[in-house]
Structure 1
């Protein structure tokens, strides 16, 4: 299986208007991202507040993304939960809606062991028959897909990639040493993008690229020829990345995309909007980046 994409994908935010998903604004945001050279779109993930969307909203967002992208970039969808059968059903639903692949988070709360992870991911991959991106984010789930487990899962014909949100380069190196060359490895952390590329990663599934997609893709492309220059460019983006870590994702990026006109500032509980002084700090860093000050 070939790599799903190279470079920058965006974990897109979900806009609301008076508590209802704002599909028109969602379409405009996607067009902005496509115009600015993103290579893939991830819908209904952590940044998209997928866990608080209804199943119907999730499907309509996928249908909307598929319609707007019109094959220009692949659309991948977060369809995993801590319930294997529910994950299979929703994954089949997003497949019917036109998704190019699915992203599966590790089961949380009820959790499981490594044998359970293998059984869980395998059951979904067998049933859905779409490319699967494993999502390892132990800071949110308290479960890690161990490198040997990734190795076993990578042998499955439909399990194609790992989104690694650990920020742990020792973990990344261990995984990379065990998986075949055609198994893709993507960073899930904006603040370790260059380090991830230094260790042989294939790209990033980015939060900040909701607002600065071209900058991230340009860094990736320059890196292929001149890692040092790319590192200098990344240093200019880093203050914004740091500002977006001021609180729990997606609260800060939602404030920034609201400033850009791609949301109305609202999130679904239990997430809440940033206080004004933190919103101002995030926007200030974005403005400085765009003005060439950083």
Structure 2
């Protein structure tokens, strides 16, 4: 499947049951609501997907289940976050053999590689697979920035096609588009900056709170692309307190709690993460409850999609 890297791509959460096994029924239910809401692709095993806690067999199962549910209608992308080049290449090959349509690729984990090492890592993984790749640029959380110069060095590699832009600097979208034009698709990776990033020319949005509020997320995207910015901004103002949950170290617990409130998820997380308790839980629930009670009436945003 060719990926055009446009639209809303949920970084979907991994559902577990009370015995710490994959809850595929809950996973399918959420994914079906995402599809009905008009998402354009799905990303598995990212930060929100609790990637570091998943076994290889569980990742295989998530890919196969997602392909079963999506039926080829949207791209299925799997995240690669490995400590070694060898491990990343093995993960890429395994994803391709399992039927994934694309990869989201982080720089090396744990070791803070320099620019040359990071570029060589990306080149080696790209050379090992025919799958299209989106580079995840998140120096805030993962301590390695993929710079404009590094992307210039990667530009000749055809299957490195997109950038998940999570530097927190919305002007970086302008820099990327000014330098590379349409060579790379650029997708917003920070929920609180989506509208601003789309105004600056981003092609898509890798979302977090979309896991609980898919219709509102897709509506904002479609309205922005249709030039109906005031309507998008109005929904985004409602959405902002919820989107800020995506910026916290406990974003997995926060967003899973929002999924439960929206009726499309479970709260179970995999240790060392633990469910929220006490005052923190009450404060997060208050934000979610206020959002649920004041959900906006959406226009027919699906009619805007080209």
* CA deviations over 1:88-139 (Å, ceiling 9, x no partner): 1111111111111001111132121111111100100110111000001112
SS of residue in 2 equivalent to 1:214: helix
> Which residue number corresponds to residue 140 of structure 2?
139
Q: Distance in 1 between matches of 2:213 and 2:36?
A: 12
Q: Find 1:267's aligned residue among 266, 269, 277.
A: 269
SS in 1 for 2:128: helix
What is aligned with 1:41?
Answer: 42
- What CA distance in whole angstroms lies between the structure 1 residues aligned with 2:220 and 2:296? 18
Taking structure 1 as reference, are residues 243 and 183 closer, same or farther at Cα in structure 2, changes over 3 Å only? Answer: closer
Shift of 1:228: 2.7
Paired residue secondary structure (2:43): strand
Distance 1:112 1:247, change over 3 A: closer
**Structure 1 residues 282 and 117: alpha-carbon distance in aligned structure 2, compared to 1, 3 A threshold:** same
**TM-score using structure 2 length:** 0.90
Q: 1:242 to 1:289 in 2, by over 3 A?
A: farther
CA RMSD of aligned residues (A): 1.9
Give the distance between the partners of 1:107 and 1:91, measured in 2 at CA. Answer: 14
How far apart are residue 260 of structure 1 and its match? 3.4
Distance in 1, matches of 2:249 and 2:293, equals: 20
User: Residue 207 of structure 1 corresponds to which residue in structure 2?
Assistant: 208
- Structure 2 residue ranges without an equivalent (≥5): 298-306
Map of 2:259 onto structure 1: 257
Tell me which stretches of 4 or more aligned residues in structure 1 moved more than 6 Å. none
Check whether the contact 1:6–1:39 (CA below 8 A) recurs between aligned residues: yes
TM-score, normalized by length of structure 1? 0.93
User: Does the aligned pair in 2 maintain the 1:76–1:102 contact within 8 Å?
Assistant: yes
Q: In 2, Cα distance between the equivalents of 1:176 and 1:270?
A: 40
The superposition leaves residues 227-272 of structure 1 with CA deviations (integer Å, 9 ceiling, x where unpaired) of: 2332222112112213454552212001111233444312112222
Residue 31 of structure 1 is matched in structure 2 by 32
